[in-house]
């Protein structure tokens, strides 16, 4: 995994963490191996080696996982032991040509220092393999005021505390007489395209959808005013999030002049009254930023995660999941899609506060949306993420294996 | 939904746009904001700063922040209903002559300001326009309240680039002054403003008062010295041109400039007025500073 630091396990550089193992991958090392036998035991499939980033020196701090969960994170930070590799890794590419599926071994070429050590302590057994450490993802940002490290835990615990107040009932549409879930989906799919056309900030889109749902939960709307609700919600979200705000005229034009200026401004007042100006609500975007950092994401993972979470915006049934769960599940599903095996490190679990198990229901739904994203009538998200600007993330194969178990 | 007149009564005008009113034997302050005004000729609806101010105030509950109780719209106007502050609360708190009677009072008010800023930062809010005019105090009860959040906004981490033409010039941090409109500013800017207010409390005059960005920077460097790569890593790339920094100047001795301050006070002031935002003390740490022992 590009940019990952989770492979920095002290003294045994080649052990991947347990959750890096694919469905059929055998454990690579037994506990308490004699030091002298390492070279005989480090055989692993060649493809698996490529999934591990062994080139990085691990400079991040770690959180020792045996501490109780409720202890404040700051108290758990401990320096990570040096992770310099004691050996050089040499890939042997010459296949024996028999066409067998046997794993190509990775030979360990011992350095002089290592040979000395083996000579001295041939019979000394290794200590138990340490559990995968939790990295302090903010360690390198302590001196950067833009990272607001001293407040980051407070900020995200505040988000977690209030996120339920921003949620709506997943079946609120049943109280609407003239509109339904399908119409909502069409509206949001269209707004995703408008958002793309106006080149707005990502958070503006998430806030727009949040405002629409919270408004529609409280206010009955006739179908020919639904698009008006959508553009007005985006106007309000722009005023809250953007530095440069599109004008009312821009939004009228994008609806092909379906509404007048007064209709937009009256709807704005109505929405603000109904929502009581409560716009500081946590959305999946807010959690995505933090959780992607915990996942040590690269651009590919980030784009795929956002593709998956935006697919969820269109789906009414996804309203049953909290914003933080949606964000975590999107990253988990994206990792599974990219690496084609289950991937959820202790670090991501720690910072998201979700175990792999808690994410599976949401994640499986995301896989089904990913699977049918390019087909059907609502393909706004798919087309957006099929562009070079968004890394053609929509073309990445879905993690279908998540649907099997 | 109840109308304005059904909800509130006994309106008593305080100023052109501010009224005192009642509801259930409780007093409130009502501020009227016109949605369509001279600055909003294009009529883009509710101004963005009002949307930000109200949504921010809606989620805050702190003794040192003027609490927003209710919001109502009526025609072209917005009615903001705030907690009522009696006549003992004086706006522009540094103009209050009683402010300077006791050194302990200054310390108490500084502590309350820092405590409020730390609270806001922990709720992902940048104040951006902290100045004495926006601070009200009740000298008798020694309670301070911060009002008018017109230039406040929430931030996400990592912070985006926001407009830097905000805040009163005298309280603007050097990193914002350097950037001329493209600064990614953060929480240290608010701490700088508190440092300027602290200095003003002590000197009974604005600490820096240059009429333009360049002259203000010159005043800052006259007191605190010209930054170097040692004191502010990356400063030369930030300012782009050395002409902005003027001739190199040595920092003045703060103990001579502020003889009324004890060593702890001098230490806190110097940490709040640290030129490099990366090294500037956070509001959270400032509240725990030894200077406030006994507050």
Using DSSP, state whether B28 is helix, strand or coil.
Answer: strand
- Which distant-in-sequence residues (6+ apart) come within 8 Å of B266 by Cβ? B254, B255, B258
Which run of H or E residues covers position A265?
A: helix A261-275
Task: Say yes or no: A261 and A370 in one domain.
Answer: no
Determine phi and psi for A247, rounding to 5 degrees.
-80, 165
Whether residue A340 is contained in a domain is answered as yes
Q: What is the pLDDT of residue B153?
A: 58
More confident of the two residues B69 and A354:
A354
For residue B248, what pLDDT band results from cuts at 50, 70 and 90? confident
A158, B121: Cβ pair inside 8 Å? Answer: no
Q: What is the pLDDT of residue A405?
A: 55
Q: Which of A61-65, B183-187, B279-283, B289-293 has the lowest mean pLDDT?
A: A61-65
Whether residue A77 is contained in a domain is answered as no
Q: What is the pLDDT of residue B110?
A: 95
Task: Say yes or no: A336 and A373 in one domain.
Answer: yes
Is residue A54 packed enough to be buried (19+ CB in 10 Å), middle (13-18) or exposed (0-12)?
A: middle
Alpha-helical segments (H) within A31-143? 38-41, 46-50, 112-120
Task: Say yes or no: A288 and A262 in one domain.
Answer: no
Q: Which of A275, A299, A331 is the last residue of a domain?
A: A275
Which run of H or E residues covers position A272?
A: helix A261-275
Cα–Cα–Cα angle for A325, A188, A169, rounded to 5 degrees: 50
Is residue A369 packed enough to be buried (19+ CB in 10 Å), middle (13-18) or exposed (0-12)?
A: buried
Whether residue A326 is contained in a domain is answered as yes
Task: Say yes or no: A174 and A271 in one domain.
Answer: yes
B180: alpha, beta or left? (left if phi > 0; alpha if psi -120 to 50): left
Given the residues B12, B61, B129, B285, the one annotated as active site: B129
CB B22 within 8 A of CB B28: yes
Report the distance separating Cα A307 and Cα A387, nearest Å.
12
Q: What is the pLDDT of residue A221?
A: 93
Using DSSP, state whether A35 is helix, strand or coil.
Answer: helix
Nearest to B70 by CA among B26, B4, B127: B4
**Chain A residues whose beta carbon lies within 8 Å of the beta carbon of residue B52:** 239-240
Q: Which domains does chain B have, with CATH numbers?
A: 4-83 (3.30.200.20), 87-292 (1.10.510.10)
Task: Say yes or no: A351 and A390 in one domain.
Answer: yes
**Maximum alpha-carbon separation in chain A:** 86
Task: Say yes or no: A296 and A375 in one domain.
Answer: yes
Report the distance separating Cα B101 and Cα B107, nearest Å.
12
Q: What is the pLDDT of residue A80?
A: 36
A88: alpha, beta or left? (left if phi > 0; alpha if psi -120 to 50): beta
Structure tokens at A55: 């080139």
Report the distance separating Cα A284 and Cα A288, nearest Å.
6
More confident of the two residues A119 and B271:
B271
B21 DSSP β-pair partners: B28
Task: Say yes or no: A323 and A223 in one domain.
Answer: no
DSSP class per residue in A57-86: ---SEEE-TTS-TTS-GGGGEEPPPP---S
Q: How would you classify the pairing of strands B153-154 and B77-83?
A: unpaired
From residue A394, alpha-carbon distances to A328, A379, A397, B275 in Å are 19, 11, 8, 46
CB B106 within 8 A of CB B201: yes
For B52, which residue in chain A has the nearest alpha carbon?
A: A240
Question: Taking an 8 Å Cβ-Cβ cutoff, which residues of chain B contact chain A?
Answer: 1, 42-48, 51-52, 54-56, 58-59, 71-73, 121-124, 154-163, 184, 186-188, 277-280, 282, 284-285
Q: Which of A235, A250, A275 is the last residue of a domain?
A: A275
Task: Say yes or no: A310 and A385 in one domain.
Answer: yes
**CATH code, domain with A228:** 1.10.472.10
Whether residue A155 is contained in a domain is answered as no
For residue B57, what pLDDT band results from cuts at 50, 70 and 90? confident
Average pLDDT of chain B is 81
| CB nearest to A273's CB, from B73, B184, B280 | B73
Whether residue A160 is contained in a domain is answered as no
CB A16 within 8 A of CB A28: yes
From residue A307, alpha-carbon distances to A4, A10, A331, A355, B18 in Å are 21, 36, 10, 22, 48
Whether residue A95 is contained in a domain is answered as no
A245, B48: Cβ pair inside 8 Å? Answer: yes
Structure tokens at A324: 């933080």
Determine phi and psi for B34, rounding to 5 degrees.
-80, 125
Most confident of the ranges A142-156, B54-68, B238-252: B54-68
Task: Say yes or no: A290 and A330 in one domain.
Answer: yes
Q: What is the pLDDT of residue A128?
A: 53
Q: What is the pLDDT of residue A94?
A: 44
CB A132 within 8 A of CB A9: yes
B73, A269: Cβ pair inside 8 Å? Answer: yes
Q: What is the pLDDT of residue B78?
A: 82
Task: Say yes or no: A358 and A331 in one domain.
Answer: yes
Does B253 participate in catalysis according to the annotation?
no
Q: Which of A228, A256, A275 is the last residue of a domain?
A: A275
Structure tokens at B77: 């106007």
Q: How many CB atoms lie within 10 A of CB B68?
A: 21
Q: How many CB atoms lie within 10 A of CB A401?
A: 15
pLDDT (tens digit, 9 = 90+) per residue, B89-148?
767 777 777 665 567 788 988 999 999 999 998 877 887 678 787 888 887 787 889 875
Whether residue A72 is contained in a domain is answered as no
Instruction: Flag residues of chain A having pLDDT under 50.
Output: 1-104, 107, 123
State which residues form the domain around A253.
167-275
CB A273 within 8 A of CB B2: no
For A269, which residue in chain B has the nearest alpha carbon?
A: B73
pLDDT at B265 exceeding the cut of 90? yes
Task: Say yes or no: A321 and A365 in one domain.
Answer: yes
pLDDT (tens digit, 9 = 90+) per residue, A270-294?
998 899 888 888 999 989 979 999 9
| CB nearest to A240's CB, from B51, B72, B277 | B51
Q: What is the pLDDT of residue B7?
A: 82
**Chain B residues whose beta carbon lies within 8 Å of the beta carbon of residue A245:** 44, 48
Q: Within 13 Å of residue B290, how many CA atoms lie on the same side as its CB? A: 6
For residue B36, what pLDDT band results from cuts at 50, 70 and 90? low
B121, A148: Cβ pair inside 8 Å? Answer: yes
Counting the structural domains of chain A, the total is 2
Name the packing angle between helices A202-218 and A261-275 (round to 10°). Answer: 80
**Chain A residues whose beta carbon lies within 8 Å of the beta carbon of residue B161:** 243
Shortest alpha-carbon distance between residue B70 and chain A (Å): 8
pLDDT at B54 exceeding the cut of 80? yes
For residue B150, what pLDDT band results from cuts at 50, 70 and 90? low
pLDDT at B282 exceeding the cut of 90? yes
Report the distance separating Cα A240 and Cα A233, nearest Å.
11
Most confident of the ranges A133-142, B106-115, B172-181, B211-220: B106-115
CB B291 within 8 A of CB B258: no
Task: Say yes or no: A255 and A351 in one domain.
Answer: no
């Amino acid at each position: 995994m590009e940019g990952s630091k989770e492979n920095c396990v002290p003294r045994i550089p080649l052990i991947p963490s347990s959750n890096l193992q694919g469905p059929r991958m055998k454990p690579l090392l037994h506990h308490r191996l004699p030091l002298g036998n390492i070279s005989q035991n480090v055989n692993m499939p060649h493809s698996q080696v490529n999934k591990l980033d062994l080139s990085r020196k691990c400079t991040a701090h770690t959180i020792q996982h045996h501490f109780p969960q409720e202890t404040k994170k700051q108290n758990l930070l401990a320096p990570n032991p040096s992770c310099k590799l004691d050996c050089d890794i040499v890939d042997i590419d010459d296949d024996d040509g028999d066409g067998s599926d046997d794993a190509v071994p990775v030979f360990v070429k011992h350095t002089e220092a290592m040979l000395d050590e083996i000579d001295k302590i041939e019979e000394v057994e290794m200590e138990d393999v340490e559990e995968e450490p939790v990295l302090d993802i903010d360690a390198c940002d302590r001196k950067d005021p833009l990272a607001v490290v001293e407040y980051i835990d407070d900020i995200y615990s505040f988000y977690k505390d209030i996120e339920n107040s921003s949620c709506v009932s997943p079946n609120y549409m049943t109280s609407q007489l003239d509109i339904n879930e399908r119409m909502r989906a069409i509206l949001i799919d269209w707004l995703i395209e408008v958002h793309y056309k106006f080149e707005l900030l990502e958070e503006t889109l998430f806030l727009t959808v949040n405002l629409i749902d919270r408004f529609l939960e409280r206010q009955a709307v006739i179908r020919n005013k639904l698009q008006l609700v959508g553009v007005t919600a985006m106007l309000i979200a722009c005023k809250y999030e953007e530095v440069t705000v599109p004008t009312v005229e821009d939004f009228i034009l994008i609806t092909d002049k379906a509404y007048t200026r007064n209709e937009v401004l009256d709807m704005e007042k109505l929405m603000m009254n109904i929502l009581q100006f409560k716009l500081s609500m946590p959305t999946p975007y807010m959690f995505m930023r933090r959780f992607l950092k915990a996942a040590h994401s690269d651009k590919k993972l980030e784009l795929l995660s956002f593709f998956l979470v935006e697919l969820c915006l269109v789906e009414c049934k996804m309203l049953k999941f909290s914003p933080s769960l949606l964000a975590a599940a999107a990253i988990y599903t994206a990792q599974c899609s990219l690496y084609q095996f289950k991937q959820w490190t202790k670090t991501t679990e720690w910072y998201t506060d979700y175990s792999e198990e808690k994410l599976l229901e949401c994640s499986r739904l995301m896989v089904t949306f990913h699977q049918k994203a390019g087909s059907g009538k609502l393909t706004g998200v798919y087309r957006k993420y099929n562009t070079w600007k968004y890394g053609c993330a929509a073309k990445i194969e879905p993690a279908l294996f998540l649907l099997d178990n | 939904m109840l109308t304005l007149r059904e909800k509130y009564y006994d309106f008593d005008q305080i100023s052109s746009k501010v009224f005192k009113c009642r509801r259930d034997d409780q007093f409130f302050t009502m501020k009227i904001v016109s949605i369509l005004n001279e600055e909003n000729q294009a009529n883009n609806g509710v101004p963005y700063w009002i949307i930000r101010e109200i949504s921010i105030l809606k989620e805050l509950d702190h003794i040192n922040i003027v609490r927003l109780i209710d919001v109502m719209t009526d025609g072209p106007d917005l009615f903001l209903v705030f907690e009522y502050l009696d006549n003992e609360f004086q706006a522009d708190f540094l103009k209050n002559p009683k402010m300077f009677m006791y050194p302990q009072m200054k310390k108490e008010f500084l502590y309350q300001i820092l405590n409020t800023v730390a609270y806001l930062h922990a709720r992902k809010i940048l104040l951006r326009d902290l100045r004495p005019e926006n601070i009200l105090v009740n000298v008798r009860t020694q309670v301070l309240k911060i009002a008018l959040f017109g230039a406040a906004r929430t931030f996400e981490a990592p912070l985006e680039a926001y407009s830097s033409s905000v805040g009163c010039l005298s309280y603007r941090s050097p990193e914002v002054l350097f950037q001329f409109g493209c600064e990614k500013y953060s929480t240290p800017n608010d701490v700088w403003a508190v440092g300027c207010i602290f200095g003003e409390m002590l000197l009974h005059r604005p600490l820096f008062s240059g009429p333009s960005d360049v002259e203000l920077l010159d005043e800052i460097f006259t007191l605190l010295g010209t930054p170097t790569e040692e004191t502010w890593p990356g400063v030369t790339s930030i300012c782009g041109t050395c002409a902005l920094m003027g001739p190199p100047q040595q920092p003045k001795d703060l103990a001579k400039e502020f003889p009324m301050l004890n060593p702890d006070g001098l230490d806190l002031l110097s940490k709040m007025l640290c030129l490099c935002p990366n090294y500037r003390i956070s509001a959270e740490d400032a509240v725990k500073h030894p200077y406030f022992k006994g507050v």
